[in-house]
Amino acid sequence: MTKDDVADALDEIGTLLELKGENSFRTNAYHNAARLVQQLPGDLKEMVAKGELGKVRGIGEALTEKITTLVTTGKLPYLEDLRASVPAGLVTMLRLPGIGPKKVKALHDNLHIDTIEKLKAACEAGEVAKLKGFGEKTQARILEGIAHFEKVGHRVRIDLALPLGTALLEQIRTFPGVLRSELCGSLRRHKETVADLDILVSSANAQPIMDAFVKLPEVVQVLGQGPTKSSVIATLHSRGEKVTMQADLRVVTDEQFPFALHYFTGSKDHNIRMRQRAIDRGLTLNEYALSNEAKSSTVPCKTEADIFAALGLPYIEPELREDNGEIEAGELKVLPALVADGDIRGVFHNHTTYSDGNATLEEMALAAKALGFEYFGVGDHSQSLTIARGMPVNIVRKQWAEIDRVNAKLSGVRILKGIEVDILEDGSLDYSDELLAGFEYVVVSVHSLFNMPEEDMTRRVCKALAHPATTMLGHATGRLLLRREGYKINLDEVLKVAAKHGKMIEINAQPSRLDLDWRYVKRAKALGIPIAINPDAHSPGELALYNFGVQVARRGWLTRDDVFNTRSLTDVTKELARRKEKV
């Protein structure tokens, strides 16, 4: 148990007690203790072992006892009992913005509301506004919150869902009797956001696996436990955020495993096509078998590839299973050999201490080298973007000189002189043509005036893209997944202009962006537009995010040849020089 885990448990106790109507003196004690624990210097385990916890102001006897139990056993029966005594729907309601435990309790006590659905109905009937302490404004805000909740639901970004899924899977793999196991669903298809985790296991004996699963330390609530399927709510700290998701575990026999793996990987639309394909061949495909009911026989398959083969198809990668043409392409044997992490040989759009990055040129270049990259392309911000410490012209020249110095010193990795230049309101670029000519390449991005009408934004971006100095477009829509829609822009028009002028488009690999969206990546490929995968790293650690961009590229059907940064340093510098000569 880390400090964060202990703090979470204490916060949860405080919240659950509030939902039960405990006095605020007691509930605040838990919330305060959670903050205290997080800020404790030194090792929590050691403090507990040495009995030093009680000396901390704000942590009394009862808290010391509970923290000790948590740290030494990883569990707290008191908390488990508390959870069981509060309806799960009340905790879910806390996810709505502007609703705290006191409001939830008032809704429950007065209107018997214990689910979001009931809350919505009560708001629509105007009952919530009449409650003391609520009013019309609050009621409207709650309805807005519910609308947003219904839209994004419990969806979680893939970079947050993956560590939780992996943590569960790794532990499940150690359970006795587990033969094969996999994460399925949208996570296996590498979708940019994931609603819930679908875990599949094959074993001859399901019961002990179910029992062990619901007892994993990440599990905070058991929604249902049956003989072959269990559903839980699980939680994990990752990348500085707390991730809470539903996880479903299914246990099947090893003979059923490939069929269940295919079925629960989805997508639903892909499954429907596959099932129809089976029917067309006089067969039945479901999550347990491929069978010929007329002959009451089954088609044995050891792997997913066997299932595809039995239906006259080559293996289709999970990322392609969206009923987006993969069945037709499989039939014609023209499925792409998808680009892979190992194909990436460098990156172009990254930040350093010259703008809003937190590491020096040299530190970033060394981190790139450690990842096996041959080139590290810098793309710091341009002069207008003062909030991100955009570089005035003299600083650009200083950076170039430092790049030359560091390049002379380093071996095995080369820093490329690039820039992420702002697209100004009228579509012009944020430096003079003369200065732009000094960069090896130019990434153009929008960072301002997101509210422009679609037509104006499209014209603005297309003008920048057509600029002779421009190499590629950065984060095409400016979206922040589950937080902010992108600006309105006609992407088909943007793709047309990129194709016409031979420009590239980036897949921004920041998991909150993943922009260009995979649906448009496939269209860009059809137009012959080269794609660059860029982590937009602001620290050495963020360089590794490029793999999320590779996933988007794969979902967009890209092969190695479609991605510019799969090329060697020699090829890349040659191509960039060729493009500049044309100018």
Rg for the chain, CA atoms, rounded:
27
Minimum CB distance to Zn ion, residue 461 (Å)? 13
Q: Interface with Zn ion includes 445 (CB under 5 A)?
A: yes
Minimum CB distance to ligand DGT, residue 326 (Å)? 14
Q: Which amino acid is at 8?
A: D
Q: Which residue is nearest to ligand DGT (CB)?
A: 266
Minimum CB distance to Ca ion, residue 327 (Å)? 21
Structure tokens at 543: 């360089």
Helix axes 3-19, 61-73, angle to 10 degrees: 130
* Given 202, 271, 355, 384, the residue binding ligand DGT (CB under 6 A): 271
Structure tokens at 542: 């963020």
Minimum CB distance to Ca ion, residue 387 (Å)? 38
Binders of ligand DGT among residues 188 to 217 (CB under 6 A) are 191, 194-196, 198
Rounded distance, CA 161 to CA 155, Å?
9
Q: Interface with Ca ion includes 218 (CB under 5 A)?
A: no
Question: Which of ligand DGT, Ca ion, Zn ion, none lies near 445, with the C-beta cut-off 5 to 8 A by kind?
Answer: Zn ion
Contact 319, 328 (CB under 8 A): no
Q: Interface with ligand DGT includes 230 (CB under 6 A)?
A: no
Give which of 192, 183, 194 is closest to 155, Cα–Cα.
194
Q: Interface with Ca ion includes 420 (CB under 5 A)?
A: no
Q: Interface with ligand DGT includes 185 (CB under 6 A)?
A: yes
Which is closer to ligand DGT, CB of 246 or CB of 559? 246
Rounded distance, CA 478 to CA 81, Å?
45
In 84-195, beta strands by DSSP E: 156-157, 180-183, 193-194
- H-state helical runs in 332-412: 361-370, 393-409
Count helices and strands (H / E) in the chain: 25, 17
**Interacting span for Ca ion (CB under 5 A) from 114-122, 173-181, 189-197, 545-553:** 189-197
Which is closer to ligand DGT, CB of 196 or CB of 562? 196
Minimum CB distance to Zn ion, residue 447 (Å)? 6
Rounded distance, CA 555 to CA 432, Å?
38
Give the angle subtended at the CA of 457 by the CAs of 468 and 545, to the nearest 5°.
Answer: 75
**Interacting span for Zn ion (CB under 5 A) from 190-198, 291-299, 443-451, 498-506:** 443-451
Tell me the site size for ligand DGT, rule CB under 6 A: 14
Per-residue contact string for residues 242-281; x = within reach of Ca ion by CB under 5 A:
------x---------------------------------
* Given 196, 218, 343, 422, the residue binding Ca ion (CB under 5 A): 196
Rounded distance, CA 75 to CA 250, Å?
25
**Interacting span for Ca ion (CB under 5 A) from 90-98, 188-196, 414-422, 460-468:** 188-196
Rounded distance, CA 414 to CA 576, Å?
14
* Given 257, 263, 376, 548, the residue binding ligand DGT (CB under 6 A): 263
Q: Which residue has the tokens 């050999």?
A: 337
Q: Which residue has the tokens 């002779």?
A: 468
Q: Interface with ligand DGT includes 232 (CB under 6 A)?
A: no
What residues line the site for Ca ion (CB under 5 A)? Answer: 185, 196, 198, 248
What residues line the site for ligand DGT (CB under 6 A)? Answer: 185-186, 191, 194-196, 198, 263-264, 266-268, 271-272
